[in-house]
A and B are shown apart, each in its own frame.
Chain A
Amino acid sequence: MKKAPKRFLVVLVAALSVFLLFVNAYAKEPYKIGALFAVTGPASFLGEPEKNTAIMLKDQINKAGGINGHPLEIIIEDTKSDETQAVLSAKKLLENDKVLAIIGPSTTGESMALVPILNTAATPLLSCAAGAPITQPVKDRTWIFKTPQYDISAVEAIYGYMKKQGISKVGIITISTGFGDAGKKALLEIAPKYGMTIVAEEKYGPKDSDMTTQLTKIKAAGAQAVINWSVGPGQVVVTKNWEALKMGIPLYQSHGWGSRKNIELAGKAAEGVIAPLGRLVIWDKLPDNHPQKALLKKYTQDYVALYKSDPGTFGGHAYDSIMMLVEALKKVGPDKKKIRDYVETNIKKWPGTGGIFNISPDDHCGLDKSAFEMVVVKNGDWEILK
């Protein structure tokens, strides 16, 4: 009986060391990355699916054993769609949480505010916003990348298709928000390159309820096609007005059209509307051997199963940013400089939700007009145009 305590001690020590070993093997130090999303505020339609995507991916990765055994930790901060808040949250992530890289933010304005901060902090930023100035000029954007397609690429896809249809005179109508203004700029800038003449250029507010006036003017100006550049309910109202007016010229929408909700809302009026869309929303229409198909299918189905709604293109931007970062972490480990270099040089022919990325030292986005398919609405569904 005297020996009992000693034996107990031995067992205890043995058990403890096995336990420690196990813990050690399982929980290596987590890789911490930050995420800035506009979860609330006017841009919350972007931030919400992005946040959901981040949470879903984190759980999936950790369930599968993490990154080389290191669990992935994503610290999500809400920027409230506000530049100042984005800067404050970014500083918190960098200084308090010591993150390896930051995903987001959701809007171009917020991303621009973070460019100098992340460059100074020498930490990679993988923005989920589309604006071209986020990554250009690239020599001042050493640490900055973005995953959404350029507006210009969407415009090129539209003009390229129009040219094939023999259209050369177009009327444009844009929403008076940052998205619409950026689109308008791109539309005007690229027009000469494709031999397009802009015969009318109209605007409307984000909450306007009738655009027949603007469309009537476009038609009177002799346009052969209308291009509407907006997100939100405005594009549905334009579509309904276009149908009611029986304009007799085709309606093109921006890549903001890529939500099945728009077809539902516009109903019959949506028939024949053409838009350049990323492949995420039309994954089921792609041929099986398309390099993006498998990942688009898995992402969409997982998301729908978890959140009972479509991820939309915006969730996809977060997916691309996170997966790029995860791949870099897997290959080079927790070193900010190496992560940046890896993303800049090794993301080649890399299929994501937004397209097939070819990031290079000259282009920190890596997508061009081939990221888009021209899609027409037919019988209440998308159909890819050849």
Chain B
Amino acid sequence: MLTVFLQFLFSGLTVGAVYALVGIGFNITYNATSIINLAQGEFVVIGGLMMWFFSESLQLPFFVSVAFTIFSAGIVGLLMERLTIKPLKNPDLLLMIMITVAVSIVLRGILMFSFGKDPYVYPAFTEGEPLSIYGAIIQQQTLWVIGITGFCIILLFFFFKKTMVGKAMLACAVNPTAAKLVGINVSRMVMLSFVLSAVVGAIGGMAITPISLMEYDKGPMLAVKGFCAAIMGGLGTNRGAVLGGFIIGILESMTAGYIHSGLKDAVALIILLLILFFKPAGIFVSKAMHQLRKY
């Protein structure tokens, strides 16, 4: 019985780690601009597919491929902001969110034409047998995904709390006009936040592809689940997104295991609705803080 329970739990952790990483990506753009970037799922896909391109198609060494993938995702984020968000004369939030939807559709089209409709995969970061704990197995790549998620959170925590650039980015979201008055280059901060979220998304994509495979149209599903994770924990808080991601992942897996696999998506969404009903700001955000936010 314990083995079965643990297996369900590990399955939930595997899926949850993916949701958590996507959720964090949402938070970065949100924290700097109050925009919900719905092209976040496509950044994850870009990460997975570019990594395949560099490591399998061009046969570059692992770390070189990682660097190139991060670099190209960053460029995509940068272009996205410079070409679609910056030229806006009246940057209305809702309008910008719609633009991100449009960008996600365009990106998906480009990915389809350059990579085709087939799924892609490359070997896990470390070769070897899955670990067995009390008879339940956990794949090594899952540990990588969880580890990378943790690493990203710590880095982002220090970035936003301890560095000048990070603090400046937060200031832009809270009040762009005031930020400008104290000499922060708001436009550059917005650009940086898109680059950063693209990079985090791509890192997630690189880590999950060996487990889940990657194809051009996986983005929307990832975006929806990641968004749920971010909302559940409270938009803007990274530990919230991580907890939200794992809660959704584990709930899905437990529902599939103990009730029926046909119901797993429904149950996870019902729990999300309940949380939003009783704690609309999310688990980690207080009501007062929520009222300061635009969305």
Chain A residues with a Cβ under 8 A of chain B: 44-45, 48, 173, 176, 202-205, 207-210, 212-214, 216-217, 220, 232-233, 236-237, 240, 244-246, 261, 265, 267
Contact = CB atoms under 8 A, between A and B. Distances in A.
A45 B256 CA distance: 29
Given A246-B137, A265-B213, A207 B221 contact: yes
A220 B117 contact: no
Q: In terms of DSSP, what is the predominant structure of the interface of chain A?
A: helix
Contact of A204 (B137, B139, B261): B261
B253 interface: yes
Contacts of B257: 213, 216-217
B211 A212 contact: no
Contact of B7 (A216, A233, A237): A216
Given A176-B262, A214-B261, A236 B15 contact: no
A245 B7 CA distance: 9
Contacts of A205: 221, 265
Q: In terms of DSSP, what is the predominant structure of the interface of chain B?
A: helix
A80 to B, nearest CB: 14
Contacts of A208: 15, 212
Contacts of B117: 44-45, 48
A256 B195 CA distance: 40
B139 A244 contact: yes
A213 B215 contact: no
Given A209-B14, A213-B253, A216-B257, A237 B213 contact: yes
B119 A233 contact: yes
Contact of A232 (B119, B121, B137, B261): B119
A245 B137 contact: yes
A209 B212 contact: yes
B197 to A, nearest CB: 21
Nearest to B5: A216
Given A176-B262, A216-B7, 8 more contacts: A202-B260, A203-B262, A209-B14, A210-B211, A216-B257, A236-B119, A246-B137, A265-B121
Interface in B204-249: 208, 211-213, 215, 218, 221-222
A214 B256 contact: yes
A216 B254 CA distance: 12
Nearest to A176: B262
A236 B262 contact: no
B215 A216 contact: no
Residue among A45, A216, A233, A245 with the most chain B CB within 10 A? A216
A202 B119 contact: no
Interface in B4-40: 4, 7-8, 10-12, 14-15, 18
A234 B263 CA distance: 18
A212 B221 CA distance: 19
Contacts of B92: none
A209 B261 contact: no
Contact of B130 (A207, A210, A244): A244
A44 B108 CA distance: 15
21 contacts: A44-B117, A45-B117, A203-B262, A204-B261, A207-B222, A208-B212, A209-B18, A210-B15, A210-B212, A212-B14, A213-B257, A216-B11, A217-B261, A233-B119, A236-B121, A236-B213, A237-B213, A244-B130, A244-B139, A245-B137, A267-B123
Contact of A233 (B12, B18, B215): B215
Contacts of B137: 212, 244-246
Contact of A213 (B11, B120, B211): B11
Given A203-B261, A207-B221, A233-B213, A212 B11 contact: yes
Residue among A212, A216, A233, A244 with the most chain B CB within 10 A? A212
